[in-house]
Structure 1
């Protein structure tokens, strides 16, 4: 290495953004949590949260979450990933990051797994927890299912997955391997949601301890499923997003109609159980590799 090259390396690791370049993963986690949590403070303090601020967020499509939760979600994972990638990896890193967002050319059966397999698994767990008490969904619910899925892709999927799976997962897998890397990411993903349990998103103030505990178990387990899908599809972010939002969409549109006897706690327990069974099956079936194939770039 020449003196000039060494000087340039020192300059890149110093300055205002030096810590971001030296610790991109840590910087991403801190920024993702901090930006989302700060943006959620008004929602948490509002009447849809702790009730310390006499204000109600307007409801769009029957929910206050679009205006209360989504802005902070967009600021957090995707915003942090964009910033840290630009600072730490420059244009080559941004091209890789953006390239994974457009990997739609994946074998058809992965579309079936994410779009049909996830709802089928949720049907099975709902059936088990409801004691077989299943109702047919209404025509309205069936009609809005696909449009709602598209909206979930553009909201929840786009806000979260460019950060968790596109930015964080490849780095963690390269450093720690697929299983340990996934086990590190899962708690971060769960922790990011934690303040929302002080709002109507998490059932505040009526929710019991079952819901947050069940949600953490779900995040840890379903994170394994997400890693497997991401790896086996050649790091396709759209397919990882579909796996994620298929859960949200089924739970939001069809769950309560098909399993009216399940309260929120039992519904969360059912989702956590299903995710745990799937995670164990994948870990055993792949011997902990989770479909990972090391890449050179």
Structure 2
């Protein structure tokens, strides 16, 4: 790679990351958006696997966007030392058991409590739902978690926090993370053709609120990406495997609203409790200058 281009990337890693993540994902998602599973311009039907077209329609774009962009930019900017730090955060499983219990129990509890006054009628789920929840967590960790979080939290956040601070950096990351999903609203993923602009705004809001809590978890666990990713996918997995069993008859609009309320409350509490620091320790979180010098 020409040294001038490499220098330009090293000087603007965040701009390059978001440009590549959006560009690559949206490019790969274009056939899905145009297919019969989207706006119907192309006579293409994506096959259903496990009852959904998202595995072939959504996941390839997610892998091509934040994951591939983060890997490529880390290699260009930091070389092997940078990749070792990046992969090290992905594999940082060894944290106190409290964090795993807190995420795996806390997320479903918060979403259930928030749902009760909104949904009204509820029922006890069957024991098989717990099995489905565990299986779903493993599956989503290797799909959604692996596709997205090495980019958003493992690459972008360690650059954003030193430059803007943990809170402002997160308030930049959250809306962009939400906006990255925009083309998917024109597919089955987003309930096309029945979604509204309000739902898109609510989704970006909940992505921002969740990001606040995820930043705190990421920082407080010594930059453990697995724990932060578990928080992300716990929300998805709860609604995929458990919520409808407790609250039958719910719809996508209720899911978005409930998640927005629960995540906003959690974000406000986190900001107040940490005074906006979100557990950030600058010396530990900033990308190493010697890694950049290797580029």
Matches within 5 A, 1:145-184: 145-184=133-172
> Is 1:72 equivalent to 2:53 in the alignment?
no
CA distance in 1, matches of 2:198, 2:123: 25
SS in 2 for 1:207: coil
Corresponding position of 2:90: 101
Corresponding position of 1:286: 274
Where in structure 1 are there 5+ consecutive unaligned residues?
A: 1-10
CA distance in 1, matches of 2:9, 2:206: 31
Deviation for aligned residue 1:115 = 0.8
Matches within 5 A, 1:241-252: 241-252=229-240
Corresponding position of 2:27: 38
TM-score, normalised to structure 2's length?
A: 0.93
CA distance in 1, matches of 2:109, 2:165: 30
Deviation for aligned residue 1:263 = 2.2
CA distance in 1, matches of 2:201, 2:164: 26
Change (3 A) 1:12 1:95: farther
TM-score, normalised to structure 1's length?
A: 0.93
Root-mean-square deviation over aligned CA pairs: 1.4
Describe the superposition over 1:70-124 as per-residue Cα deviations: whole angstroms up to 9, x where unpaired.
0000000010000001001111111110110111111111111111111110111
Corresponding position of 2:10: 21
> Is 1:144 equivalent to 2:132 in the alignment?
yes
Contact 2:175 2:205 in 1 (8 A): no
CA distance in 2, matches of 1:187, 1:22: 23
SS in 1 for 2:49: coil
Match for residue 54 of structure 1 among 27, 30, 43:
43
Aligned pairs, how many?
A: 285
Contact 1:218 1:271 in 2 (8 A): yes
CA distance in 1, matches of 2:160, 2:9: 16
Corresponding position of 2:291: none
Match for residue 235 of structure 1 among 223, 238, 246:
223
> Is 1:188 equivalent to 2:166 in the alignment?
no
SS in 1 for 2:33: helix
Where in structure 2 are there 5+ consecutive unaligned residues?
A: 289-295
Deviation for aligned residue 1:262 = 2.8
Corresponding position of 1:6: none
Contact 1:215 1:272 in 2 (8 A): yes
Please tell me whether Structure 1 or Structure 2 has the larger radius of gyration of its CA atoms.
1
Change (3 A) 1:12 1:294: farther
**Post-superposition, which runs of at least 4 consecutive aligned residues in structure 1 deviate over 4 A?**
none
Corresponding position of 1:114: 103
Deviation for aligned residue 1:21 = 2.4
